[in-house]
Amino acid sequence: MLGCATRPPVPVAELAPSGRLKAAINFGNPILAVRMPDGSPRGVSVDLSNELGRRLGVPVELVTFTSAGKVVEAVRDAQVDIAFVAIDPVRGADMLQTPPYVIIEGAYLVRNDSPIRRNEEVDQAANRVVVGNGSAYDLYLSRELKAARLVKAPTSPAVTDVMVAQNLEVAAGVKQQLEADAKRVAGLRLLPGRFMVINQAMGLPKGREAGARYLAAFVEEMKASGFVAAALTRHGIEGAAVAPPSSTP
């Protein structure tokens, strides 16, 4: 993960080598982006992409995805120039990442009649936990769960429907998505608190170190200036916080 205290030169050739800034937008995380009725994306990641393109002086091409796993693949294969993904050591092997710009929470969802009352009770052999394939929750729980079994849903927004359809015990995902699901589907409840904190960062293909330094400085400025906070407010995002300033040199 890269940080920078001063603004570096603008490496347009690394951030937009085609002359356009290709930004990956993930509909799988409603904190980052949502699909409008006309199909267009709207959200914090869209605002950051457009502001970066403005500063680089290049047009922005928003490339949409339905899951974080697909976004990571696109960055790894240099099909996009920037992306918005959770910081994770597995993902860090395939891309360069900035310090975080937003912190969000991961939560568990269960049925109302479930005996599970606390996050600490999920990791039992009798429990099957649904996660979005390749999501931050998938990567984290693959390392952390010792007894419970993970079941992979195609995308994070699908975890609740998979849990209900297959009569599974737990769904895991971004807290806001699961809260919406609990209102949409009767008989479900969130467990109190959170099981993980997710640091959302910007990423770009490996080998573009000058671009990563510029992007890290951009993220720090967007946090310090209030841009990220204003975007969260503008899009009605609750439960997510602006990440603190990075101490990474």
pLDDT of residue 177: 87
Percent composition of the chain: helix, strand, coil (DSSP 3-state, to 5)? 35, 25, 40
User: 7, 217 in Cβ contact below 8 A?
Assistant: yes
Please provide the distance, in angstroms rounded to a whole number, between the alpha carbons at the two ends of the chain.
10
**DSSP β-ladder status, 188-190 and 95-111:** antiparallel
- The model carries a pTM of 0.78
- Mean pLDDT over residues 25-54, rounded? 94
**pLDDT (tens digit per residue) in 220-243:** 999 999 999 999 999 998 778 899
Per-residue pLDDT tens over the stretch 97-113: 999 999 988 999 999 99
* pLDDT tens string 110-145: 999 999 999 999 999 999 999 999 888 898 999 999
Read off the pLDDT band of 89 (50, 70, 90): confident
Domains of the chain, with CATH numbers? 12-103+200-242 (3.40.190.10), 118-196 (3.40.190.10)
Percentage above 90 pLDDT, the chain: 78
121 CB-contact burial (10 Å; exposed 0-12 / middle 13-18 / buried 19+): middle
